[in-house]
Structure formats: C-alpha cells, structure tokens
Structure 1
Amino acid sequence: MLESWRWFGPQDPVTLSHARQAGAHGVVTALHHIYDGRAWTPEDVAERMALVKKAGMIWSVCESIPMHSAIKLRNGQWRSYVDAWKVSLANLGKGGVPVVCYNFMPVVDWTRTNLLYPTQAGGFALRFDMIDFAAYDLFVLKRRAAEDSYDAVLIEAARKRLEGMSEEQILTLESTIIAGLPGGEDSHTRETIRGHIAAFDEISDGDMRENLVEFLKEVVPVAAENRVQLAIHPDDPPFSLFGLPRVVSKAGDVETILSAVDDRANGITLCAGSYGSRQGNDVVAMAQRFADRIHFAHLRNVIKEPDGSFIESEHLAGDVNMVSLISVLRKEERRRVAEGRADSVIPMRPDHGHLLIDDQTKKVNPGYSCIGRLKGLAELRGVIAAVDQAQTQTL
C-alpha cells in the first residue's frame, strides 16, 4: 500500500516535511484555495505538483474537486459546474494525478459535534453525539419538521441536554456542526444553512441517487480517458443529517454506484471510519465484495453507540477489525499484480488522529494534527508488515 498523508496546502500547519518524517510517501491534497466551482487550470495543477515533488513526494490522490450544490440538485447553473468539474478532472489526469476522491454529501460535509473529546489516555478525539446534534437541529436551528427525523425518546433527551448547556456551549456546538471542517467546501451561518437545507426539501433519496448516477455518466468517461481512478467517499456520518438525503452510506449504495457506470474508473474510497459508523455495515465484508474497485483507503476507526453516536478511536482499537481489513486490501493488491494492473498499489492514509502531546498547545486542523496521525500511520505500517509475512508464508 502507498502510505500517504493529507495536506491542506502551503497554509497547513503540518508541513510536507512533517509528512516525510512520519514516513509517508504519497500526498493527498487539493487546490483548497480554488473552491468557487471554476475549473482548475493545467497551471494550477502543475504549481501544486511542483510543491509536492520538491518535497520528494508524489501527489497520490486529489481529495477533492469542489462540487457545487447545483450539481447535486441538478438545477440552476448545474451544467456549467459539471463542465468545470470535468475540466478539472481532465487537467488533474494530464498533470499526473492518478486518483480523485470526491463525495456527494448535500449541504454539510463530514460532521462532528465535539472536536476535543477527552480520551482516557489524556488525548483528545473527535466525536459525533446524536443527542447533541438533535438538540441543535430541533431547538437551536429549529429546522422545519425536524421532529419528524427523531423518535420521542431522543427528542426528550435532546431537550434536557440543551437545558443543561450554557450559551457559550451552544455556540461552540453550532460552530462545530455548521462552520465547516477541514476539507469541507462550505461554511454556514444559522441563517444561511436553513436556506441550503430547504433547497433539498423536494429531493428524495431516489432523486439524489438519480442525480449522482447522471453525474457519473458524465464524469467517468472523462476519468477513463485521462487515466484517473474516481473514488467516491461515503457519507460521514453515513446516515441522514438535517433530514437531507444521503446515498453513499451502505453496501447497497455502493452496488448501485458501481453498476450504474460499470467501468473500473468508477470506484470507491473505502473509508473504514465512515462506513464503520453505521450500525449493520460490515466494513471487512464490504472490502471483500468491492475489492476490485477500491482505489483509495482511509484507515481510521470508530467506536459506535446504540443511538448513532460514535467516537473516533485509535486506529487499531475501534469496531473495525483493522488487521482483517488490511489483509483483504493486501490480498487484493497481490491479485492486481498477478493480473498486470497498473493500479496494483492502493494509496491509503491514516485519518483523524487523536490530538496528542505538544500538538495540544498548537493551532492545528481538527483531526489533522501531526503526532496522532504519525502514531496511526506507524501502527498501520506494523500491521501491514505482519500481514505481509503471514500471507507470504501461506503462499
């Protein structure tokens, strides 16, 4: 596997030098300063590529090309945004970027309710608390018909939770949920997010799925022509938020996506933490089922709770059996080598490491501090070595 590291560009407090010291060889990055939907030019791509090469690394994955809501709604100026997306995709391929990770989440990207949840070991983790989220949605945002999204027990728990919060705590919760997390495309206010959510009021899961399929029919041929592997990222969390449709959350969704445009260029990002956050998802079984179309892997882990809440655990300590998952991925890489595939090496990255040691005194992007990810990558590297030895002995 290609050990990679997410980097948010020159403004990232965790530098490419830090990534190299952590042992990463690939860089997962995007042109985060160009997020308004216009096409990325060959010069834009070349400039970023030059920075990565200067650091002695390779641009292994673009994560992600911004996707305007008009594409997901298929309204307004959707055609111009799709055309620009296709130009950016082609220019990435021509510039030497082999994989593009993207998502189809409406309004809010990856979402958490607590960015500094204390762990028993003294670090801090990311957490999604369903009661906190419902409290915000129901009684702060006061989304229309929000009560239809929750059962009576959760609504009452949310009411009590909010009563125990100070105004400062409420504002912190709101900022965490809607102000935008690293890699997300939009930052909202309480007023603007209501409007963005309302725009999807008439969009069902079926409509959203159809819009995704129509998008794939347009972009997959461009990816194939330019030797790019598309890797759709799952919804995070993989269930509806704010009553919005989410259609990349479980194995059936992946089956629909891959069969809609049956081309190897149309693949997935296997995010163990995202898929692992949904009750009923067997991440290892999903990896086995869709192995041929896994173009990128986020190897992070979570511990789920019955009400839908979860905490981001250490990489080897969550609900997903990371040893079994890596075994599946390494077996698939060997199969690709035997088949003669050019994409035999799957890029992976550690994700959402805990905030540890002196990173706790620094300003870093939530989930993307240095030491926590370095620790995770080292642990994953050890698992890969052990899996390789075991698999080699059985050949």
Structure 2
Amino acid sequence: MRESWRWYGPLDRIGLQEIAQTGASGIVTALHEIPYGEVWTAEAIEARKRLVANADLGLEWAVVESLPVHERIKRGDGKLDALFANYRQSMANLAAAGVRTICYNFMPLIDWTRTRLRSPVARGGTCLRFDTVEMCALELFMLERGEAENDYPAETRLKARDWYDASSGEDRERLLAAVMAGLPGAYDRYDIPGLRAALADWTGIDAATLRRNFARFLDEVIPAAEDLGMRFCVHPDDPPRDLLGLPRIVSDADDIAFVLGHREELANGLTLCSGSLGANPANDVPAIARRFADRIHFAHLRNVAKEPDGSFEEAAHLAGDTDMVALCGVLLSEERRRRSEGRDDHEIPFRPDHGHELLSDAGRDTHPGYPLVGRMRGLAELRGVMSALSHQGTTFHG
C-alpha cells in the first residue's frame, strides 16, 4: 500500500520537508482556495503539482481530497448543467496532469462533525471528540430546533438540558466553533442565526431526495471518470448518523451498496474510512472492506472508541474498537489479488487519518485532527502492521 499524507497546501502549518521525514511519498491535497463550482484550471493544477514535486523530496500528488461537490448539486437546486460541466472539466484537467484518484463526499452542508477539537486523552495529549449530549444541547437549546426532540432519547435530552444550564457563554462558543470546524474550507463559519439560515436551505430534503440527487451526480460524472481512467471514491459520512435535521446516506454497508450498485463501472468506488464507518456500532469495518474490496480506491485508516450513548472519540490507531490488523490484512489481500491480475493500479493509497496531538504538536495550531507527531505515530504503527502481515506471506482473511 502506498503511504500518503494529507496536506492542506501552502497554508498548511506542516511543511513538505516535514512530511517527507515521515516516510510517506504520496501527497493528498486539493486546491482549497478555488470556490466550489468553479473549474480547476490546468495551470492551477500544474502549479500545485510542481510545488509538491519541486521540493525534491520524493513526493508526488497522489490523491485529490477533495474535488468538492457544490451544495446546489446535493440539494438538486435549480439548473445544474453548468456546475456538472465545470466538475467534468476539472476532472479532465486533473487526469491530463496525471492525478487520477479523487476522494469526495456527499454530506449535506457540513463535511464532518465533532463537539470538541482538543479533548484530553490519558497520559497527555488531546483528540477529536463527538459528545452526543453536547450535540443535543446545540440542536435543542442553542439552535432551538424543536424537531431534534425526535432525534435523541429522553435521557440524552435531560443531560443536554443540564449541560446547557451549567454552560457559560464561552462553553457554547467553543461548542459552536468545534461544529463549524467541519464546514468546507471555502465556507464562512456561521453564528447561530447564520446556521439556522443555512439549514433552512435544506428544508424538505429527506434521505430519499438526497439519494436521488446523488444518483444524478454519479450519472453525470462516472462515465467521464471511466473514459479518463480515473478512480472516484466516495467518503462515508462522519459521523454516520443524521445531524441537525440533515440526512446522511453513506453510513453503512447498505448505503455503500446503493452507491456502488447505481454505477457499476470500476471508476465508481469507495474511500474506506475506518473511523467514519467505525463510529456506527452496527458496522463491522473489516467485513465491509471484504465485501467492497474490489472497489476500494483509497483508504483512511484511523480508529475510534465508542460509548453507549453514541459518543465517540479518536483513539490511537491500534487501540480503538476496529480490528486494524484484520482491516489491513483485507486491504493487503486485495492488493495481492489485483497484482495477480496484472493491474497497473493494484496499489491502494492510504493515509493515517487524524491523530492525537502529542508532544510538540501542542501550540502548532494545525488543522483539527491533523497534527504532525500524532499522525506520524499512526503511520509508524500501520507500517509495522503491514510489514508484519506481508512478511508472513499468507493469504489475508481479516
């Protein structure tokens, strides 16, 4: 598997020289500065590609994460021909530059959601955390979204009331800022009235409607991806549950089967994110990987520790609820199968996703969940697992 690393471009507080020292060679990045819906020009793509390669560090732009899907496409809002045409042109420009793997998501409004960005962990350091009680407090008592009564059990609502009554203005600001951190980079962060207004744009859009809009998106882009020799890979919902009254439709094996079954071309694939899928207690992540192995084009490897009320936090890569050794075995086995078929795209790029803030990570103010030392620890652990499994020379059953 190809060791890769998420890099947010020139404004990332972690530099390419530091990334090279982790041992990763594939860079996972995007043109975050380009507004959604606009074409990624050939010139802009080549400039980013040169920036990565000219560091003379053995690095290469391996995966786009993400070529974002405009919110109007997700909502099915108005005439969309120009947006689809721009998206396909960006794909063509990336393919011409030799960047052929695209990770994307179809999550409404917010890409990922956490309620704490620096939750303490044992023995020092911090992690990302999703606390169900805090999320309920935000929905019911800050946003005053009455429909949220139906989304949380009575016990959680009572605890959320207690949290809200005991919270300070600073506590509430911290909570809102953590949730807003999941907005795409090109978007302004909302205050409470602004978030209410943004959510109003989604009124009447249920899971069935969102699924139809997703199917249309696939019909518009997957034939082009197939023609261009690209690999498209949808990222699962994070977390895999409805939030803020917004539906989530890539949360479990049945959802993935719908996406991959709607367009059966090889270009229509999956980003296997073990953390996102692992936050759903019903998901057996190695089993999902086995089921869809032939369509996995990219992997995010991380772990979460779940709690009975639906809360979870980022665990060390080998210490959470998902059997990471089994999962790595599934991916390595799939790579070996592809090699046996003589495929030149047999190698699956992966990156150590998220990580605890450890040691010198403190105070660097990197993107939430993307510290240097914590992710390097994760990469080293994953590298060790994969080396050991490969050394065994066995067939990996997970």
TM range (shorter): over 0.9
Aligned to 2:148: 146
| Equivalent residues in 2 for 1:199-348, closer than 5 Å | 199-348=201-350
Aligned to 2:70: 68
Structure 1 residues 193 and 78: alpha-carbon distance in aligned structure 2, compared to 1, 3 A threshold = farther
Distance in 1, Cα, partners of 2:350 & 2:132:
29
Higher alpha-carbon deviation: 30-39 or 272-281: 30-39
Matched-pair contact (CA < 8 Å) for 1:108–1:186: no
Distance in 2, Cα, partners of 1:346 & 1:239:
27
| Equivalent residues in 2 for 1:1-395, closer than 5 Å | 1-55=1-55, 56-180=58-182, 187-392=189-394
Matched-pair contact (CA < 8 Å) for 1:179–1:188: no
Distance in 1, Cα, partners of 2:219 & 2:308:
38
Shift, 1:391, TM fit: 3.0
SS where residue 3 of structure 1 aligns?
strand
Higher alpha-carbon deviation: 354-363 or 343-352: 354-363
Percent of paired sites with the same residue: 48
TM-score by length of 1: 0.97
Shift, 1:182, TM fit: 7.1
Shift, 1:76, TM fit: 2.7
CA RMSD of aligned residues (A): 1.6
Distance in 2, Cα, partners of 1:267 & 1:325:
18
Distance in 1, Cα, partners of 2:337 & 2:358:
38
Letter in structure 2 aligned against 1:307: D
Matched-pair contact (CA < 8 Å) for 2:355–2:378: yes
TM-score by length of 2: 0.96
Shift, 1:77, TM fit: 4.6
Letter in structure 1 aligned against 2:119: Y
SS where residue 27 of structure 1 aligns?
strand
Distance in 2, Cα, partners of 1:391 & 1:134:
49
Shift, 1:196, TM fit: 2.0
Distance in 1, Cα, partners of 2:388 & 2:187:
38
Letter in structure 2 aligned against 1:32: H
Letter in structure 1 aligned against 2:97: G
Where in structure 2 are there 5+ consecutive unaligned residues? none
**1:285-337 superposed Cα distances (whole Å, 9 cap, x missing partner):** 00000000000000000001111110100000001100000000000000000
Distance in 1, Cα, partners of 2:188 & 2:266:
30
Matched-pair contact (CA < 8 Å) for 1:66–1:185: no
Matched-pair contact (CA < 8 Å) for 2:28–2:63: yes
Distance in 2, Cα, partners of 1:17 & 1:230:
29
Letter in structure 2 aligned against 1:160: D
Letter in structure 2 aligned against 1:48: R
Count matched residues.
395
Structure 1 residues 104 and 52: alpha-carbon distance in aligned structure 2, compared to 1, 3 A threshold = same
- After TM superposition, the runs of 4+ consecutive aligned structure 1 residues lying more than 6 A away are none
